[in-house]
Amino acid sequence: MLELADDQFIQIRNELEKYESRVQDTITQAPQDVSFDKVSIYNYLNSSDIVSELDKQVANNLNVPIIKLSKDNASRHIKYLSYFNIETIFQLEQLVNLHREYILKRSLDRKAVGEKVSRGISIFYLYQVLAAKLGNETEILKFLDVMNLSLPDDREEFASYLLELGQTVI
């Protein structure tokens, strides 16, 4: 019985490794065909040149080092992507390119509270920029509540900040 379980575990692990390899190839060759799951977002954030460049600029703005992205932290992106109806790598890259300036502006406005940031930090700032574009404080507060961002006592102030930021975003 244990041998059968071991064999099945090995087979599942091998299939997952094959899937991860296929996803990485597809991200490079056909990003419009890659929808998001834990594997695809992890691979994208670890392989994207634009994310790497933006993360370095954000970390520099915050004067903190970048640490490796864990698969658990990568999976946190899924709820944000879903919230903004971002379904493919291609769509995400378009938004990153479109809002690059505002991602960096957002990082300049933030005071560093941690000692380090994780790879993909620039994409978390993108989500805040997209929230800023929601256009009214009620919708921004809803986003902050759903995503559990900011301490509850600070959410209204953060929503006001994002609303103000949103007025500068094209």
Q: How far is residue 169's CA from residue 130's CA, in Å, rounded to a whole number?
A: 9
- Which backbone phi and psi does 116 adopt, to 5 degrees? -160, 165
**Residue 108 near residue 168, CB atoms below 8 Å:** no
SS3 of 37, please? coil
pLDDT of 50 higher than 80: yes
Percent residues over pLDDT 90 in the chain: 56
pLDDT of residue 111: 65
- pTM, two decimal places: 0.83
Q: What is the pLDDT of residues 98-126, one digit of tens each?
A: 999 999 999 998 765 668 899 999 999 99
Greater pLDDT, 90 or 7 = 90
Report the percent of the chain where pLDDT is more than 70.
78
The Cα-based distances of 26 to 8, 18, 30, 37, 104 in angstroms read 27, 12, 5, 14, 28
Residue 120 is given by DSSP the state: T
CB 67 within 8 A of CB 121: no
Q: Concatenated DSSP letters for 12-75? A: HHHHHHHHHHHHHHHHHH-GGG-B--HHHHHHHHHH-HHHHHHHHHHHHHHT--EEPPPHHHHH
Q: How far, in Å, CA of 140 to CA of 98, rounded?
A: 20
Query: Tell me: the pLDDT tens digits for 66-102?
Result: 999 998 889 999 999 999 999 999 999 999 999 999 9
Between 30 and 50, the higher pLDDT residue: 50
Provide the 8-state DSSP code for 168: T
Structure confidence at residue 16 as a pLDDT band (50, 70, 90): low
Q: In the prediction, which pLDDT does 169 show?
A: 78
